Amino acid sequence: MPEVISEIASLRVRLEDLRRKNRSIGLVPTMGALHAGHAALMHAARRENDVVVISIFVNPLQFDRPEDLEAYPRTMEDDLRVAQDCGVDIAFVPTAAELYPREPAAFVDVPALTTYLCGQFRPGHFRGVATVVMKLLNTVQPDRVYFGQKDAQQLAVIRRMVQDLNVPTAIVPVPTVREPDGLAISSRNKHLSVEQRQVAPVLSRALDAALRLIENGERSVATIRDRVLPLLAQCPQVRVEYFEIVDVETLVPVMSVNGPVLIAGAMWVGSTRLIDNVLLEGEGE
């Protein structure tokens, strides 16, 4: 099993000893309920670092709905077994009181990148994400930190935070892991009923359809949306929250595809919210 550490001071002492031995450190931040997507992050960290640290912490700051925080699965024993199978050395498992010993007054916010996409519908979410990731980076001081491309807006926010605040850590993106039918793997998938699970891959199919239209020469975002949104409308169980094509750097919606873009969508299937995206690089004039 990984070495389990729950106190910040103890973790710092342990990692400082490893740094004195010139060991490189990779960090995989998680909220637990580990699945194949997390495993891909841990395997990437294992390949590229001498020491792999995983954090398991359900961060209250990033939940805009208290019921979501309460319902988030806590599966520590299973998570530690997954971490062991992926070659993790240290599991940092702080309590909320350890990371937030008093009501926080200082936060990290990247509002320029959170106006659209998920940020439009989850007020305060990315401020909570950026704040806890900065606390983890300050605690672990890793050489590299690993995030999944599935959470593309989160990845963009963390990249910009690290750049703007001169954090000496490399951000390593890891491609989205999918089920055979294309559904992006997520801890939320377990909330889907059998019927809802059959419907859920429609989002990845819609993203792929938009990507094919662009690859075949379509540049008008309005035309792409007119062609793709009916695919989602065919499923009465689905409520689309957004389906956008945005600039890959600013995450601002574009009207025409003339450069790298992110095609991103979020939808509700019953009471379960699913997100997904595909990245188009190097397109345009």
Catalytic residue ranges? 38
Helical residues (DSSP H) of 21-124, grouped into ranges: 36-48, 66-71, 76-85, 96-99, 118-121
CA atoms within 13 A on the CB side of 73: 15
Asked if residues 228 and 243 have their Cβ atoms less than 8 Å apart, the reply is yes
Alpha-carbon gap, residue 184 to 175, rounded angstroms: 10
Return the amino acid letter for 260. P
First to last CA, the chain: 52
Question: 32-60 burial, b for 16+ CB within 10 Å, e for fewer?
Answer: bbbbebbbbbbbbbbeebebbbbbbbbbe
What is d(CA 175, CA 157) in angstroms, rounded to the nearest whole number? Answer: 17
Between β-strands 272-280 and 261-269, what pairing exists: parallel, antiparallel or unpaired?
antiparallel
Alpha-carbon distance of 163 to 42, in angstroms, equals 23
CA–CA separation, 223 and 58 (whole Å): 40
Query: What are the structure tokens assigned to 193, written together?
Result: 């009923």
Q: Give the C-alpha separation, 43 to 265, whole Å.
A: 27
